[in-house]
């Protein structure tokens, strides 16, 4: 049987593989005429399922389990900013609406994770989005 740490690693790696596949596949699908909104909905469902999985294994993890609110916000920001940037790159979202789209996605993801949006959490969201934007590969779309 896998240890709790190994289970967490498997879950995180699985989510990472799915996210990488989405970021690589979205532009390809768009060029072939596939509806990108369906892919984004799939991503939201994958994150929701990952949260359910983590809720299931959390009792078996050491105290805190390594997944605190900050880690969830940081992870959600990476996905939110990546989605908004990809949507802008393929023409599904005006470039000046990327931040609003990322914030909307963050609020949805954190609501699914059961995290209440307080002023403190909102400040963390802002910082996490800025950090995630800085971690994006540089493109001609970037103006932040």
Phi/psi at 132 (5° precision): -65, -35
Q: What pLDDT, on a 0 to 100 scale, did the predictor assign at position 65?
A: 43
Distance (Å, whole) CA 5 – CA 1: 12
CA atoms within 13 A on the CB side of 9: 5
State both tokens at 138: 């540089």
Q: Which of 117, 26, 29 is nearest to 69 (CA)?
A: 117
Q: What pLDDT, on a 0 to 100 scale, did the predictor assign at position 48?
A: 79
Per-residue pLDDT of the chain (144 residues; tens, 9 = 90+): 667 777 778 888 888 777 777 677 777 777 787 777 776 777 788 777 877 777 776 666 655 544 577 788 888 888 899 888 888 888 888 989 999 999 999 999 888 888 888 888 888 889 889 888 888 877 654 444
């Amino acid at each position: 049987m896998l240890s709790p740490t190994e289970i967490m690693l498997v879950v995180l790696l699985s989510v990472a593989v799915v996210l990488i596949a989405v970021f690589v596949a979205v532009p390809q699908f768009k060029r072939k005429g596939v509806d990108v909104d369906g892919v984004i909905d799939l991503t939201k469902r994958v994150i929701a399922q990952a949260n359910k999985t983590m809720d299931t294994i959390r009792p078996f993890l050491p105290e805190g389990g390594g997944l605190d609110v900050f880690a969830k916000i940081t992870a959600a920001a990476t996905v939110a900013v990546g989605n908004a940037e990809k949507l802008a790159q393929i023409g599904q979202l005006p470039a000046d609406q990327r931040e609003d789209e990322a914030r909307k996605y963050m609020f949805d993801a954190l609501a699914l994770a059961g995290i209440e949006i307080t002023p403190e959490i909102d400040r963390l969201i802002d910082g996490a989005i800025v950090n995630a934007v800085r971690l994006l590969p540089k493109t001609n779309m970037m103006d932040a």
